[in-house]
Chain A
């Protein structure tokens, strides 16, 4: 179990040398307790203390990295059951199944679809994280052929190799040696051989159990050979996944039960892609670290990426949009010019309503540290001088003919002060709520 700051302090050299970057050993100990520092930052700590701390500070759910380079994704390391307590740490990896029964051409299409899945949302790049190569044929050579196709077409893409045959595993893992692949399919019959193959290829091993009891047994046996483990409890129906995922998360975090302290993989594939999507909702919200989809539909990825982004957002830090002047539609030099704050929700709703109005506009988004209009105004982040400075420095004056700025109705009180600071500009008070924008903009058009 995790040590407290004071317990950690007792293991430190207590020299207050500041080499770790903290003013005192006690301050460093507190940072360690909050997992905001690493023991390696202390050059003088004893080996014995290091080992003790290492064991105690190991996260309750083991961190595992899939892939290497720019597309590498880290999973696991979660610390809470509810996102309002503390930010969920590592977003679940979304993977898509590719069967080795597919022709090279069809498999190539799925690989291309995965590589093209990237979408930019609120400044984050969201995409399918990994390919799940499934040995449906039972033929080792077909799996190996699929593996080399993926390795040649998408060398950066993290992969999960799925087979129950150690020989097939060895051949398929070959192109991914040292690339942090995952080998899925270690069960009670093949555990040691599979663990050895994973170890040889420096891959993580995913356990395919038929119950949580068995999963705990298998991880205890496998960890001596491969430390990086992932678990499938055998749950397939949504209700079973909720039960098992919940028990795993509680056992690891609340009970410190090490045999289940590993990331969980869920299989949500369904013939019906819409049902598959809603079942995946359960896995995203309730504790899966890897989700295997059968389908790769663009609308499906968009919905699941968005949900993952929502769930893994830090509840204490509002999502923010970059300060800028955004164009909605194709605004001419006389188009209306509005301003709002950079809280992502404010931006989304305002830009959505402007779009609904079908009136092309320019929308200035002022950096208000992620606060909404009224809150930002109350906190002094959305003031006349900040607005005036932003407008002046943006260079917008050269782009437009009408020097008129529409401000949110909630800050009508600012209009005089902005007019004083922005010479030659007319300030117009817009509606209080964004849903008043379509009527407001249409009435001016």
Chain B
């Protein structure tokens, strides 16, 4: 009996987006098949993992992740250089966490200084993230965008509550942009439409349907991503054809499974591997669902995910 593999090819394809400049610029997206389905179509760019770096020391990260960056995390430039030079980071996600009103309320000008310093210190592409405080972000990201002009960085996140100023800033400074909505394909679509109506090119837009951690709503992110990819490929829906982002670390490293001591919960096994596995498993499943760019924290988890990607290709 001969078996003809039921290949599925699609009319739609995602936009290929370049972040950064020069030899270390990265490309994401550009596929006309589901993640890792190069066996039946065009899957030109492997997913990219970015290391998360903050403008302030990571006081609210669990000890085991803080330990990894002990000695470098007091200064964002040192921290970012460490990720690139020692850990081989292909991209840096600089989170301006300290600008949050509850975390120090650092001014937009000061944040812009940090962006300038970090972007001139490393040669890999930069993702510039606010503190996820809609109001403050709309001020901070405008200044941060000016500081990043010419770097072709990825700026985010524009949300329904604050997208106007952030979109304008990305436009004025020629940056790529992340649009984030909360776990609903229709909200993602709506926000992407609003953004493109401001004259922002949909081919420069990255969609973040909002991440979640393993066991804490992962199935929602997973399915929203599969649905967005299906809309992009099968329905050729141009508004949803941007590459997708999974901002994993910030969700994973606050759940109980990445903090509880083995002494308290012996049936959960050792904390070190459990924490790393939580981040690696969350990211891996979202890569399978359609993520093109993921932001992570622990180097061991990044290493496991990179090995997985290599096995998927090889």
Contacts and interface: CB of A to CB of B under 8 A. Distances in A.
B1 interface: yes
B277 A121 contact: no
Contacts of B304: 274-275, 277-278
A212 B3 contact: yes
A84 interface: yes
A275 B307 contact: yes
A83 interface: yes
Given A121-B215, A307-B218, A275 B308 contact: yes
A346 to B, nearest CB: 10
A410 interface: no
A243 B278 CA distance: 25
Contacts of B255: 348, 352
A157 to B, nearest CB: 18
Nearest to A343: B217
B8 interface: yes
B312 interface: yes
Contact of A352 (B256, B267, B281): B256
B82 interface: no
Given A216-B3, A278-B308, A82 B284 contact: no
Contacts of A285: 222, 285, 288-289
Contacts of A275: 304, 307-308, 311
A190 to B, nearest CB: 19
Nearest to B219: A310
Contact of A345 (B3, B217, B266, B268): B217
B105 interface: no
A355 B255 CA distance: 10
A285 B288 CA distance: 8
Contacts of B6: 247, 250-251, 254-255, 257
Contact of A348 (B2, B216, B223, B300): B216
Given A298-B268, A299-B273, A302-B268, A277 B281 contact: yes
Contacts, number: 156
Contacts of A421: none
B34 to A, nearest CB: 8
Interface residues of B, number: 50
A259 interface: yes
Given A216-B3, A306-B215, A299 B270 contact: yes
Contacts of B281: 277-278, 281, 303-304, 307
A246 B37 contact: yes
Interface stretch (A24-32, A53-61, A174-182, A234-242): A234-242
A274 B3 contact: no
Given A246-B37, A298-B269, A274 B300 contact: yes
Contacts of A246: 37
A310 B312 contact: no
A301 B270 CA distance: 12
Interface in B215-238: 215-219, 222-223, 226-227, 230
Contact of A247 (B1, B5, B102, B313): B5
Given A238-B311, A277-B277, A251 B3 contact: yes
Interface string B250-283: 0000111100000000111110011011101100
B51 interface: no
Mostly, the A contact residues are helix
Interface in A15-63: none
Interface in B92-120: 102
22 contacts: A82-B227, A84-B226, A119-B268, A121-B215, A212-B3, A237-B314, A239-B36, A246-B37, A257-B3, A260-B3, A275-B307, A277-B277, A277-B304, A278-B281, A285-B222, A297-B273, A299-B277, A307-B218, A348-B215, A349-B216, A352-B254, A356-B254
A259 B1 contact: yes
B288 A282 contact: yes
A278 B312 CA distance: 11
B304 to A, nearest CB: 5
A274 B267 contact: no
B153 interface: no
A420 interface: no
B294 interface: no
A306 B213 CA distance: 11
Interface string A111-137: 000000001010000000000000000
Contacts of B230: 82
B48 to A, nearest CB: 17
Contacts of B273: 273-274, 297, 299-300
Interface in A224-266: 237-239, 242-243, 246-247, 250-251, 254-255, 257, 259-260
B216 to A, nearest CB: 5
Contacts of B267: 119, 298, 302
A171 interface: no
B1, B8, B102, B226 — most chain A CB neighbours (10 Å): B1
A439 interface: yes
Contact of B312 (A220, A242, A307, A349): A242
A278 B304 CA distance: 7
Interface in A298-326: 298-304, 306-307, 309-311, 313, 315
A213 interface: yes
B296 interface: no
B305 interface: yes
Contacts of A277: 277, 280-281, 304
A437 to B, nearest CB: 12
A239 B214 contact: no
Interface in B68-82: none
Contacts of B277: 274, 277, 299-300, 303
A237 B214 contact: no
